[in-house]
Every structure is written in structure tokens, then in C-alpha cells.
Structure 1
């Protein structure tokens, strides 16, 4: 029986990640996208570095690992965060959560292209189903028929996240997920520094003067990202990735419901329909048929099962 505490934390992670989309959309009313992204990353990096200093169990990466960490930081932090917050500024929290939910499927397809991994017919069917769901959201999820620029940016952010998982997969051979998270986040934060200056030079940088908004930003970074990330990794270690993955179906719909009541976003049929298709596609792609018993009495093979 799985540890109830771990299962409770996985539920908490699902709710926190769903709420993160809404909190980010709310903060974008008073922060410029790049400044908000960078500020959140700085707070999260400081939190992760503090944890590393307290635990002290960090080893120095090899030259090859530094290179992989650099690529993971560029794609998973720099590209993902830049396009995520810029896209969220022009889209909705619900759409953002649903599009990011496509990441497992995108990672599967990218693994086939770049890592030459095989794709079963279930993964192919799941990929097609999920892609249809994204098309529904992108084309019909707005106030009018058409492709939203914000949704395009969110798709790029999702692809950045998916590409980073390819590098992370290679890094896990010699590094723990704890080490990878800290190194890649800090590297991505450093790489994002010039973009904040560029936004300021263009006169597009602005921030909130409300202390409560800064407290919300810190809470999202430390609790919603940092602490939730540790809970998530602990859940995978205890109950396994297949059980943990089921909880990833929850955040998109948490985001849709919460953003409706907090931000006043409409709940559109295309979002619900597209979300169901995306999550169904992910479920199909990760479904593993139960192995049939090797033999049953009365079968022509004449084998019997021992008790």
C-alpha cells in the first residue's frame, strides 16, 4: 500500500501546479512577462541553492554533464520560461495548462526523432489523439476562430520543456534529479539575465508596487515550484512514475476552474473537449496491457499453473 503521506503530497503537487498557472496569469497584470519570469527564477534558484548548502550532497559535474546541463538550461528554463510567460500574457491560464500537458507526447515524438526510440502503435494513437486536442484548443479556444499568438508562444514553451527532457534523460545516467534540477535552474536563470536588460532598455519592463503581489511571487517560486518539485520527485521514488503520472491529469482542470472564479476567464467547450483529448492521448500512449497468464487449464498447450 503506497505511503498515504506521499499520495497526499502528490495531490498537493497537482493542486499547486494547477494554481500556479492562475497565479502567474494574475501576476502578469502588474508585472512585465520577462521580469516576472526572471524574478521567479531568481527566488527559486536562491531556494534551491539554500537547500543544496544545507544538505551538502552536491557533486561537481563532468565536462560532458556541464554541456548537457547548459542545453537543458537553455531549452527547459530560458526558452520555456520566456515563451511561457509571454504566451500566458496573451492567452489564458486554462489554455496554458492544457498545452503544457502535451509535453509527454511531444517528448515521445522527439525521442523517436533524435534518440531513435521505438514508438508503439499505442504511443502513435495517443500522440494523434492529443494533437487533435491541441488543435481544438488553439483554433476554437478563443473568443473567435483562429490561432492566438499567445497559444503559439505556449506551444514553443512546451516544446522547449520537451527538448530539455531529452537532455535530462541523458543526465540521469550519472546525476540525481535533485542535482539536475538545481544546476539546470541556476544556469537557466543566469542565461536569462540579458533578456531582462533588453526588456528594460525597450521601456517594456514594469513591476508591481503591491507587497502582497511580491509575496505571492515568492510563494509560487518557493512552494509552488521548489517544494512541489521535491514532493514530486519523492512521489516518483516511492510509488513509481506510472502512478505519479496520473496526477499530471489534474492541474489543467484545476487551472480552468480556478481561473474562472479568480480571473473571470470563461470555461469554453473547446477547452474541455481539447483537454479531455489531450489527457486521453497521454493515457493511451502510456497504457500498458496486462500480461495474459502463461497458461490456463484446458488450453491446447497443456500447461498448468502452480499455486
Structure 2
């Protein structure tokens, strides 16, 4: 295969991976909103990560592709697992008990702005003009979505602050993960980070047992879905794409998540998006398209 053909193949495979990730993560906001009615934030995080760890472990055993991490890589994996898999999930689950799915998705998506800024400084990715322009346009769209959905009694200061905590730990996790993916396989990185996150959430084991005993079957199935799809599958496809794309450019593509989340919430939770939210979704999509320009 020629070099241009190989590069084109990598671009399309990375695009497919990003598409899977975005759709799965958008569905996670809706699923958490539903499952959170029966599970506490910590127990839901532990259950989700336990399912994800088992699924990723089985895939890793089937691949039999293990690369021993260095001490520096272990440190970065520990940071990624604690920040993005443990703290992020607990904070996100707690936020969605106070804030609707669309608003949560909007607030968490200040994370890509942090990723793009810190990746330019810490990872040497720089600040391409279209990345900056697209990020600004997409963020404006996300703000419109928030302005349209953050009305009424469903949003409070604590919930908003929890969303910000989730956004910051999300950015930290991506920046810690990127250098590790230069040498370690994406599946292995995701498995180790997920396992670290699960171990950090073990203090919630008692709550998980109690919640499982009282939760309806639909909520338990939703927790299993969160572990299999938005965690095991989506974090693996994210790692695959991150190994082939700049962290800043990839991070901005997650601005697609809020408009998709709002559409899913309208369909599944009966949360109809106002016209301003739809306009924000169009603007966010436009911004993502601009970041793809070279």
C-alpha cells in the first residue's frame, strides 16, 4: 500500500472511531440521567467501571498484545485513571442528579477548550488558526445550548460546579493519556486506566450492593450499558483516534456531543429542546467542521 493510501486509510479509520465515541458519549449523558434515579453517584461509577474493566480485560486477553509500561507511563496512567475514570465519573453522575442532560453536556464541554490550550503548551501541538477559530465558534454554540436549556429549577450552582470538575478532570485525563499512546496499545491503555478508576471507586462497593438490590431491572441494564458502550467501546475508540490525531483537534470534535445529547434527551426523556438550543447545535457543528480545515 502506498504512503498516501495508507494515510487516507488512517484518517478514515480515525474518523470512524471518533464517530463511535461521540455517539456513545452522547448517549451516556442520557443514560446517566435515567440510571441516576436508582443509583447513587459513587455506586454508579463503580458499577460502570467494573463492567468496563471486565469487558476490556476480555478483549485484551483475546488480543494478547501487552507492552510493559515504563515508570513514567505508569505515573501517567495513574493520573488518567484517577482523573478521567474515577473523579470524572463520580462528579458527572452527581451533576446529572441536579442538572439536565443537555446542560450537563454543554458545561462538561468546556473540557476540549482546556485540552486544546494545554495541548498547545504541554504537548507542543501549537495553536493552528482553524483550530482556534473552530473552537471559538463551537464553544459559542455550546453556550447557546446552555442558555436555552439551563432554565427553571433543574440547574443549580452545585450541579454547575460538579460539571466544571468533570470538565477539568476530563482534560487532565486526555493530556495524561496522549503521551502514553505513543508506545502502548490503545486497548491496553484504556483497560489500565479503567481498572485504576474502578479500584479508586471501591469505597462505594457497599452502596453499589444496596443499590443493585433495590434498583429496577431497567436501571441495572442501563448501568451495564454504560460500562459496555460509553466506557469499554467508546474509550477504546477514543484512544485509537487520539493515537492518530492531535489532542486539541480531537478534543474539539466532542462539541458534537451536546446537540446529539439534546436530541436523544428529547426522544427518550421527553426533554424537548427549544429553538435556541437547536441554533446552538448548528453552530457547534459548524465549529467542529472548521477545526478540520488545514
Same fold, TM-score > 0.5, yes or no = yes
Moved more, 18-27 or 106-115: 106-115
1:251/1:140 CA distance change after superposition, 3 Å = closer
Q: Secondary structure at the match of 1:266?
A: coil
- How far residue 183 of structure 1 moved from its aligned partner, in angstroms, is 0.8
Determine if contact 1:142/1:148 at 8 Å carries over to the other structure: no
Deviation per CA, 1:166-221: give whole Å up to 9, x if none. 11111122212111111111111111223x26x95xxxx84543233212321231
User: Is 1:193 aligned to residue 206 of structure 2?
Assistant: no
For residues 40 and 116 of structure 2, what CA distance do their matches in structure 1 show?
33
Contact 1:72 1:167 in 2 (8 A): yes
Task: Please point out which of 192, 207, 212 is paired with 1:183.
Answer: 192
Paired positions, count: 279
| Cα pair distance change 1:134/1:155, threshold 3 Å | farther
Partner of residue 111 from structure 2, selected from 99, 103, 111: 103
Give yes or no for the alignment of 1:174 onto 2:180.
no
Summarize the alignment of residues 85-164 of structure 1 with structure 2, pairs less than 5 Å apart: 85-115=93-123, 117-144=125-152, 148-164=157-173
Is 1:263 the equivalent of 2:269? yes
Q: TM-score, normalised by structure 2?
A: 0.78
Q: Matched residues in 2 for 1:113 and 1:250: separation?
A: 24
Which one of 262, 273, 280 corresponds to residue 286 of structure 2?
280
Gaps of 5+ in 1: 289-307
Shift of residue 267, structure 1, vs aligned partner:
0.8
Contact 2:18-2:237 within 8 A present in 1 as well: yes
Name the structure with the higher helix share. Answer: 2
1:38/1:192 contact within 8 Å kept: yes
Give the 3 Å change call, closer, same or farther, for CA 16–22 of structure 1 in structure 2. same
TM-score under structure 1 length normalisation: 0.75
Q: CA deviation at 1:42?
A: 1.0
TM-aligned CA deviation for residue 247 of structure 1: 7.6
Deviations 1:136-160 (A, max 9, x none): 3445522249865323322321221
- Asked which structure has the greater CA Rg, the reply is 1
Q: Give structure 2 stretches of 5+ with no counterpart.
A: 1-7
Q: Counterpart of 2:3?
A: none
Tell me which residue corresponds to 2:215: 209
* Distance change >3 Å, CA 246–CA 109, structure 1 → 2: closer
